[in-house]
Structures are given as C-alpha cells and as structure tokens.
C-alpha cells in the first residue's frame, strides 16, 4: 500500500495512552497464543485463543472483517510470510509459525507480530527468526536515535548484512503508521532508499515490521487473495511492534515492558509519554 505524501496523524499524550491500552491487549493475546503454540495444535486453535483474550478485555479485533478478512489472527507457516488465514492446518514439529494480531480499544489500534519455531527445528530457521527479531529492535532503536524515518530501513539492512547470511528482505509488505486506523501514512520501509522519509517528532506512531526469508525476497499471493508466500518456497519470519515517539523518546506500545529490556541492549531508554497525573500501564 503506497501512501505517498498523505497527511500523517500525530497523536497527543492522551491518544497514545489509548493506543497503549490496545497494545497491552495485543501483548496479552500474544502471550496466550505462545502458550498454546505447539505441534498438534491447529491454526484455528490459536485464533480462538486470541479471540477469547481480546473479547475478555472488552476490545475489538483489528483484523476480523478488515477488507473481508475472516479471522482474528494472521497465522503464517513456513513459506507463508504474512496474512495466513487460520484453519484446520495442524502444526508440525519444526514449523516456523508467524502470528500477527491487532486490537482496538476506544477507537485506537495496536498491532504486533512474532515468529516461533517449533521444537526439532532446523537451526537455520531459528537463526532466521532471531535475525528478523534483531532487525525489528534495531529499527525501533533507530526511531529513538535518528532524525528521519528512513533510518529504520537502514537499521534493518545493517542487521541483515551483519548476520553474514543472504536473507531476502521482503519489500512488497512494509510497516506503517497506526492510530485511529490500523494502516495510515507513513510507510515504514525495511530497506535503504534515497528517500529520507518523514521527520521523527513527538506524536508519530508507527508499526515497525521486518519480514525476512531464507531465500529470495520475491512473493506471491495465493488463490485465497490473502496468504502471501515466498516465490521460491523458502521459509520466512515476521516480527512487529507498535511504537510511539514522545517528547523524550520512544515507547513500544505492544510490549508489556514498553520495550525496555531489548532496547537497553541497544543503549536506548524507553520514555513513556503519558497525560499528566497518569502512570504507565
């Protein structure tokens, strides 16, 4: 989806606090799905777990009904990169499973994804997921330390190059602005371009979501018009978080700790942006 130079929705502290509530619902759903994610489970089983968590929180799924999408989660397995529709597929040992979840609270969205490699895994699949997650956190750190949004893509590419493995960086599907809608301007690219991107300033909220493959970067969409797979059949991983930029720094809205642990490893301190008199969730 190309946003061009459409207007960016900058948030207030109160609006970011609303997005944090949605982000915590997503984080809770992820935790419950992780606990249920094992060989023998079906992808529909995982969808039911997330649906229960979101409903019990009084939230609304972001994905269900979005342009006709039929489920709460996207569950993408092995060569599936993103937008896999949950169903009767039974997970097997060694599968690479990417889970994407979104929730809405009081009109504000949270969106995040993780990849889990099931037991008896190929070490190369584990390395793929770890590299993708490292690229995610490097991209988030770039939001805290840089001046332009294009720094995210540079950081992702730096991690891929440093891995020593020729991973494919998916280009057709990228990060995005998020807030009162799940997808908003600006695009958040996962690769270098000549464009510097939007200036980083307080109120900018984005979903950073690198997707890497063990082969080439090229993709295909299956006949269901949703599931995106690698063209060469190689396995893929997908990691994502929703991040807010405040006056003092970044806050990862879809991580229970706000991103503190992983960002500390990169020399970045989390800076929650809250209305006066409130405390972090």
Reduced 3-state DSSP string for 196-210: CCCECCCCCEEEECC
Domain that holds residue 96: 13-264
Is 57 part of any domain?
yes
- Evaluate whether residue 164 is within a structural domain: yes
CATH code at 239? 3.90.230.10
Instruction: Give a yes or no: residue 166 inside a domain.
Output: yes
Q: Distance between CA atoms of 116 and 107, rounded to whole angstroms? A: 30
- Please count the CA atoms within 13 angstroms of the CA of 157 that sit on its side-chain side: 11
**Tens digit of pLDDT at every position of the chain (281 positions):** 334 457 999 999 999 999 999 999 999 999 999 999 999 999 999 999 999 999 999 999 999 999 999 999 999 999 999 999 999 999 999 999 999 999 999 999 999 999 999 999 999 999 999 999 999 999 999 999 999 999 999 999 999 999 999 999 999 999 999 999 999 999 999 999 988 989 999 999 999 999 999 999 999 999 999 999 999 999 999 999 999 999 999 999 999 999 999 999 999 999 999 886 666 66
8: in domain? no
Paired tokens of 96: 């690479």
In DSSP terms, which residues pair with 113 in a beta bridge?
100, 240
Rounded-to-integer distance, Cα 224 and Cα 216, Å: 23
Helix 13-36 and helix 43-56: axis angle, to 10°?
140
- Angle of helix 123-145 versus helix 150-163 axis, rounded to 10: 150
Q: Specify the 3-state DSSP secondary structure of 87.
A: coil
Number of domains, the chain: 1
Flag whether 272 is in a domain: no
């Amino acid at each position: 989806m190309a946003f061009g130079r459409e207007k960016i929705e900058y948030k207030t502290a109160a609006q970011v606090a609303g997005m944090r509530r949605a982000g915590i619902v997503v984080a809770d759903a992820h935790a419950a799905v992780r606990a249920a994610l094992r060989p023998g489970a079906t992808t529909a089983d995982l969808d039911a777990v997330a649906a229960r968590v979101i409903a019990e929180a009084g939230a609304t799924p972001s994905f269900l009904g979005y342009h006709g999408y039929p489920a709460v989660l996207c569950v993408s397995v092995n060569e599936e990169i993103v937008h896999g529709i949950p169903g009767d597929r039974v997970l097997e040992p060694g599968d690479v499973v990417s889970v994407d979840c979104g929730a809405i609270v009081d009109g504000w969205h949270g969106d995040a994804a993780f990849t889990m490699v099931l037991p008896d895994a190929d070490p190369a699949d584990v390395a793929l997921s770890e590299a993708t997650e490292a690229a995610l956190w490097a991209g988030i750190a770039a939001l805290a330390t840089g001046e332009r949004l294009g720094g995210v893509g540079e950081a992702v590419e730096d991690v891929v190059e440093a891995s020593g493995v020729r991973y494919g960086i998916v280009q057709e599907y990228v990060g995005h602005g998020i807030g009162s809608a799940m997808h908003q301007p600006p695009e958040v690219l996962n690769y270098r371009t000549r464009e510097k991107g939007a200036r980083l300033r307080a109120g900018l909220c984005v979903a950073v979501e690198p997707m890497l493959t063990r082969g080439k970067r090229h993709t295909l969409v299956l006949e269901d018009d949703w599931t995106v797979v690698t063209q060469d059949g190689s396995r893929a991983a997908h990691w994502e978080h929703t991040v807010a930029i405040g006056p003092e720094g970044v806050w990862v809205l879809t991580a229970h700790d706000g991103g503190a642990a992983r960002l500390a490893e990169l020399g970045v301190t989390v800076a929650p942006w809250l209305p006066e008199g409130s405390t972090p969730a």
